[in-house]
Amino acid sequence: MSGIKRGVSLYSYQEEFFLRKLTLEQCVAVSASMGAYGIESLAEQMMPGFPKLSDAFYEQWHEWMRIYGATPTCHDAFLDTKRFKDRLLTLDEQVVEVTRDIKHAQRLGAKFIRMLVICSPELMERCAPIAADHGIWLGVEVHSPWFIEHEWIQKHLEVAYRVGTDKLGLIPDMGIFVERFPRVIYERYLRNGAHENLVRMIVERYDRHEDVHGLVEEVEKLGGNGEDIGLARTVGHFVSSDPNKLRDIIGAVRHIHGKFYEMSEDDREMSIPYNVIVPVLAAAGYDGYISSEYEGNRHLQDAFPVDSVEQVRRHQRMLSKLIGEQK
Amino acid sequence: MFDKYLIGEKGFRNVVEDGQTTGFQLEVRIAYYRGLGLSMVEGFEVSVDGREFPRENNLFTLRGRTYTYQQMETEYEEHWEMGEVAQLTVPLPGGLSAGTHEVAVVEYLRVSYVPVITTGRDRKTLLLES
């Protein structure tokens, strides 16, 4: 058995929370009931009133953690660089924003902050000492269409190694390992009127991991409609990296996003090879959390009921098996 | 995302002020997976039975407080929370006729990490409440 721990990003339950079918407490409770005790949260999604949360809220939060035996892991920060219509936030203003998030994460009892991939290496470096003073580690999310070897991510890695990986690092999102194009996504394009033959061509091209640059123009020439072209464009935002690349950055990784799009009834992710990923992480000695992050709802909600809880449950069963937990 | 839930099923009605029907109102939600400060909500285009109502004239009411399009642009404190219902008021002297109408809304959001303005789109057939 490896030391990898299981968690959930409450992002997974956004459909149920949006529709007021689950409360924040219920999101925590249902995760813990699956043995996913690491709780990652998004204040701007499920904590109304953020950034002005009351003392009573934080007390309640800690009470829930105690009742359900859960542990806060990560706060997912956003950075509204476009708050003003006519200009972007300056670096100094961004530091103020991140400082606000650092204080929130500390009050939650979380150890990590997920920083958006758009955050600059300069911002990370400026924030590192502030975060460290509050006992918080900042990780830039390696999220598609970025990938580990990308120059931007490598710059972040350089800063993390220079400043110290006890303060800064990376949070790889497993959505950089999309081996097969997610069925749940291309089926929506089909529902919206994409041509079956063109969808098949685009998906096969992706699944063979061929270069998809120029695919939009190619689909246009073949007489594709708006949906066909939309799919051709969408596949260009997906990434199929080799999970072994995780070994190269593992020293800078303290938290992982277990992105998934669709779990089958027999607990397999339809597009991301977790059966390869988890053993790579275990062999590399990773002992942090994998935080399940379901993102299938937005592709289903137009036509089908969404059951995020069942999807997370299947993902958690899969992780438990792959980690080698005792029954 | 969440486009399907943008227009509310309830709350579609004419607005009567001092005995005069001055417009109509409908309920809206954010077509996004988190809340946003109002300065980043760039308004709503509404169309009813094909007639278009530009976003500059429409009023946005959140928790009982009403904002013009211009006021939202510089509102940096208040946030529209995910899934939270707000009211959109469209000025139209005389209001809408009784019965059902085909209502469409385009919602514009300025999201930091998206290079373009994000749009949410929904279309519903609604019965005007009396």
B35 and A11 within 8 Å at the Cβ level: the answer is: no
Q: Which residue of A has its CA nearest to B110?
A: A82
What is the distance in angstroms between the Cα of A130 and the nearest Cα belonging to chain B? 23
pLDDT given at position A85? 94
Question: How far is CA B23 from each of CA B30, B71, B105, rounded to the nearest angstrom?
Answer: 22, 20, 16
Single-letter code of the amino acid located at A236: G
The pLDDT mean for chain A works out to 97
A83 and B37 within 8 Å at the Cβ level: the answer is: yes
A2 confidence band (pLDDT: 50, 70, 90): confident
Chain B residues within 8 Å of chain A (Cβ atoms): 1-5, 29, 33-37, 39-40, 73, 76, 79, 81-84, 110-113
Q: Which residues of B touch A14 (CB under 8 A)?
A: 33, 82
The CATH class for the domain spanning A5-178+240-323 reads alpha beta
Range list of H helices, chain B: 69-73
pTM of the model: 0.96
Q: Which residue of B has its CA nearest to A82?
A: B112
Local structure of residue B10 (DSSP, 8 states): S
Element (H, E) at B118: strand B118-127
Q: From the candidates A12, A18, A78, A89, which should be mutated to test the interface with B, based on the most B CB atoms within 10 A? A: A18
Single-letter code of the amino acid located at A124: M
| Pair of tokens at residue B12 | 């579609």
Report the CATH number at residue B111: 2.60.40
Q: What are phi and psi of A245, to 5 degrees?
A: -60, -25
Low-confidence ranges of chain B (pLDDT < 50): none
B34 and A44 within 8 Å at the Cβ level: the answer is: yes
Q: Which residues of B touch A116 (CB under 8 A)?
A: 112-113
What is the distance in angstroms between the Cα of A162 and the nearest Cα belonging to chain B? 26
A303 confidence band (pLDDT: 50, 70, 90): very high
Q: What is the dihedral of CA A113, A116, A120, A126, to 10 degrees?
A: -20
Task: Measure CA B61 to chain center.
Answer: 9
Is residue A316 predicted with pLDDT exceeding 70? yes
Tell me the pLDDT tens digit for each residue of A165-188.
999 999 999 999 999 999 999 999
Q: Which residues of A touch B29 (CB under 8 A)?
A: 18
Q: Which residues of B touch A301 (CB under 8 A)?
A: 1-2, 4
pLDDT given at position A269? 98
Residue with tokens 């790889």: A172
* Ranges for all domains in chain A classified under CATH 3.20.20.150: 5-178+240-323
- Can you state the angle between helices A91-108 and A121-133, rounded to 10 degrees? 40
Question: How far is CA A225 from each of CA A5, A182, A215, B105, rounded to the nearest angstrom?
Answer: 45, 21, 13, 24
Domain that holds residue B23: 3-127
What's the number of domains chain B is made of? Answer: 1
What is the distance in angstroms between the Cα of A220 and the nearest Cα belonging to chain B? 22
Q: Got the DSSP string for A159-221?
A: HHHHH-TTTEEEEEBGGGB--S--HHHHHHHHHTT--HHHHHHHHHHHHTT---TTHHHHHHH
Is-contact A148 A157, C-beta < 8 A? Answer: no
